[in-house]
Amino acid sequence: MARSLVIVESPAKARTIKRYLGKGFEVEATMGHIKDLPKSKLGIEIEQGFVPSYKVIPAKRDVVKKIKSHADKADIVYLASDPDREGEAIAWHVAEEIKKPDAAVRRITFHEITKKAIEEAMKNPKELNRPLYDAQMARRSMDRIVGYTMSPLLWKKVKRGLSGGRVQSVALRLICMRQEEIESFIPREYWTVEAVLVTPSGDTFSARVILPKDLPDEQAALRVVDEIRSAPSILINAITRQVRTKNPLPPFITSTLQQAASSRLRFSAKKTMMLAQQLYEGLPIGGDEISGLITYMRTDSPVISEDALHDVRRYIPEAFGPAYLPDKPRRYKAKKTAQEAHEAIRPTSLQNTPEVLRPYLNDDQFTIYDIIWKRFIASQMSSASFDQTTVDIVAGDIGLRSTGSVMTFDGFLKVFDTNGDEDEKKLPDSLNQGDTLSCPTIDPEQHFTQPPPRFTEASLIKELEEKGIGRPSTYAPTLSTIVDRGYVRMEARSFVPTELGRDVNALLVKHYPNILDIGFTARMEDSLDLIEEGQSAYEKVMGDFYRTYNTEHEQAAQNMENIRAEARSSGILCKICGKDMLIKLGKNGYFLGCAGYPDCTNTQEFTRDDAGKILPVDAGKAEETGENCEKCGSPMVIKRGRFGQFLACSNYPECKNTKRITKAPEPTDRACEKCGAQMVIRHGRFGPFLACSAYPKCKNIMPYPLGVKCPMPGCNGELVQQRSKKGKSFYSCSLKECTFISWTKPVIRECPRCGSGVLIRKGTKLTCANPGCSHSEDEAP
């Protein structure tokens, strides 16, 4: 039996580390947290200094028993959980359970799972970090107090299944505030005037009027046009030439990786973190060799190690040439609240280029690794250079300007492009100061100011980070929760608050003004950082928080309106009896119901327009589509049925022709395995599927992928959605030889027992999709 025991969180991480340590070491996995607050009660002794009553999670009793058995036989136990608050809490809880003498327990941390990093960590063990554990304990206690008391109140006053949270409710507030800005926005008209100018040598270029600055209406724009045309001359007043440089961005941290994956790859924050976790914990890259491919993915520090800096500065001139290496290394500073001990997200080996790893990674793993590798390399490359020319022109009292920019050296852009935001515009070489220009064309154009855009995942994560709300590990679960609870819906990849989200937000903002205050939440995050740094005590921070929260909660419990029982006026009159139509909340959601009920039973669905105004949906009114019925030639109209919208012939009941509404195909990053064309997402009778964009030349189709790896041990396939011959949805592995199948939609969540990324709904339970794992849990409300 091994004399040393190493304890990590996941089996994948354990397998990788075991290969590096070899004989003499046993490596066991906790499968996440082994202890938590009890579900049946608050579990925090408020009057005794907010002491949490951590208990072994029932599903982890066998895991703890196994770890204790190995620990009893080991001389030294190394606690190697992740180098953050959650990892420190796991280490403390394991130490409490195994009850070994302090001298026999060592804490080791590393930011990459490579042989060198593991060996270095083993040579430099340290003691458990009490302040880091206290910071996690404070966060967990705050979240438990809020969730345990606020959520039941929402169940009582609104509907069952809702939740309130210290961070999630503030995220919802930001979305609702943005929606209010959009609805209250009043567009402002403005005009631009652009002129096509001709040099004495016959070259043409365009310039825009910059003086006067504001052109509020057409009259002002036409006045400018007349002044230019009637000006005695149009002269080049000044030409300014300068070299402009563009510097690379720092390597990724958690938030910027999530933002880039959302905007570039259209990956959700949850999916991005799942893929990054796989790359961090290690994947087979050639034979049986398993190696961690990136550093730890939960970090808010852009700092990199001196070894990594040395390696990348040696790699750049070899790969791209000496001109691409700056004279001095680039050093990026972390913000004040970042954990300096952490590193940025980077590849563990520069020899593992995306091209080298391509055969060993699936498409999603590859795209995430590709942007991590390129962003890291680019962060230490030379700046890109541009020759920028600015030409100022006068026509009487009117000022015009034209700017041209030409890239003279691509620098870091050779590796990590900027999505085309460096469009080149070359001005004629024949421009000289004092030249007289002719103006054959002047184009005035009307514009209107636009409301602020709705939050996307990328922009909301950026907003949360800038305002100090949450930390790297909280962004993905926070966004998932507000969608899962039905507070927001995704529309064109943007968050739109639902009627339920509006109501919940309004109630919480009214009755928890401090807890929902963005500044207060940010200060609480700062307080957690102070605990971690040893500058503040757990009990003091918890006391400050609880006094504020408990005062507001007691008042909310007394005064919060009952949305479930109280209907509100919609401002719409009943078409049948003329009484008010009231906004009501039923078991199937919100609807308009007549105030004259039960004498009048009129009900209607409703939507809101861009200004937030309620618009009734007339079930009997059909919207024309411009399409004609292929059977009788009558117009086809949109109608709504119990399963949603569909096309129907307006000549009903004489013609009963109906058709499903087809959606435009959505592009993907997959290539057709038969012809190489792009695969697109199409929607058929039985749901979405992948089809070749070259149809009808190529008729290749594939099942719709869920973007998650198959949970069967040793399988490299991914889960896909399919339909049975009877039209029922089921979910299976993309590899025909794999036997995995599920008749309920998988829940993408890591199993706390075995680390599998998929759980399956069975009644009210969630069970692990891995047939070799017995984990089962109640589905969270």
Active-site positions read 296
Question: Which helix (H) or strand (E) covers residue 198, if one does?
Answer: strand 189-198
The torsion angles phi and psi of 586, rounded to 5 degrees, stand at: -110, -175
Owner of token pair 């401090």: 514
Q: Which residues contact 73 (CB under 8 A, 6 or more apart)?
A: 1, 2
List of residues 6+ apart from 234 with CB closer than 8 A: 197, 228, 393, 394, 395, 436, 437, 438, 439
- The string over 708-741, giving b where at least 16 C-beta atoms fall within 10 Å of a residue's C-beta and e elsewhere, is bbbbbeebebbbbbbbeeeeeeebbbbeeebebe
Q: Which residues pair with 645 in a beta bridge?
A: 640
Exposed, middle or buried, 633 (CB in 10 Å: 0-12/13-18/19+)? exposed
Instruction: Tell me whether strands 589-594 and 568-573 are parallel, antiparallel or unpaired.
Output: unpaired
Q: What is the rounded distance in angstroms from the CA atom of residue 69 to the CA atom of residue 74?
A: 9
- Size (the chain), residues: 781
Residue 602's SS3 state is coil
Strands (E), 263-338: 283-284, 290-291
Strand pairing category for 76-79 and 105-107? parallel
| Three-state SS letters, 392-460 | EEEECCEEEEEEEEEEEECHHHHCCCCCCCCCCECCCCCCCCCCECEEEEEEEEEEECCCCCCCEHHHH
283: which residues sit within 8 A by CB, 6+ positions away? 290, 291, 293, 360, 361, 365
CB distance 475 to 255 below 8 Å: yes
Contact assessment for residue 311 and residue 302, using Cβ atoms and an 8 Å cutoff: no
Element of type H or E holding 586 = strand 580-586
- For residue 257, give the nearest of 268, 246, 247 by alpha carbon: 268
- Burial bucket for residue 571 (CB in 10 Å: 0-12, 13-18, 19+): exposed
